[in-house]
Amino acid sequence: MTYFWLKAGHIIFVIFWMAGLFMLPRLFVYHQEAPEGSEEAARYVERERRLLKIILLPSIIVVWVLGLMLAMTTGAFSQGWFHAKLLFVIVLSGYHGWLSAYAKKLARGERSMDGKTLRLLNEVPGLAAVVIVILVVIKPF
């Protein structure tokens, strides 16, 4: 029973986390289309800050805590698929950290990436999710 509740909570917060990871680079693209120093740009700074603080940060914490509790419940630490999953989840967490740093740069008025690169980077969470879900459901090794 504990296992199913942990898993339900894990999946719910994975959805919140992924939604935030998909949304933030989109906001960056629109933000960078607004003139620097404009009121519109300032509104994007606030939207990005709130998305990071209210959705992304709590979600990544809950996903990690429930995921590690699930691993302890099922003994996944000794299984190959779990090691591979951890690798991709660490990549995804690093991507989250990078987004957070880029939001701070944008807030300071630094725009080091163009919209095309940001749109390309937006594929990272989608690809990682495909691999992670296959690993966790099929458990190929």
Q: Residues interacting with ligand HEM, by CB under 6 A? A: 7, 10-11, 14, 18, 63-64, 67-68, 70-71, 74, 76, 89, 92, 129, 132-133, 136-137
Quote the least distance from Cβ 37 to ligand HEM, whole Å: 37
Burial class (CB in 10 A: 0-12, 13-18, 19+), 63: buried
Please report, in range form, the residues annotated as the binding site: 10, 85
CB of 96 within 8 A of CB of 43? no
CA 48 from centroid of its chain's CA atoms? 13
Nearest residue (CB) to ligand HEM, 89 versus 103: 89
Judged by CB, which is closer to ligand HEM: 27, or 76?
76
DSSP string, 29-80: HHHHHSPTTSHHHHHHHHHHHHIIIIIIHHHHHHHHHHHHHHHHHHTGGG-H
Q: What is the distance between the alpha carbons of residues 6 and 75, in angstroms, rounded to a whole number?
A: 14
Name the residue nearer to ligand HEM (CB basis): 21 or 27: 21
The minimum distance between CB 1 and ligand HEM, in angstroms, equals: 14
Q: How far is the CB of 129 from ligand HEM (least distance, A)?
A: 4
Nearest residue to ligand HEM on Cβ basis: 67
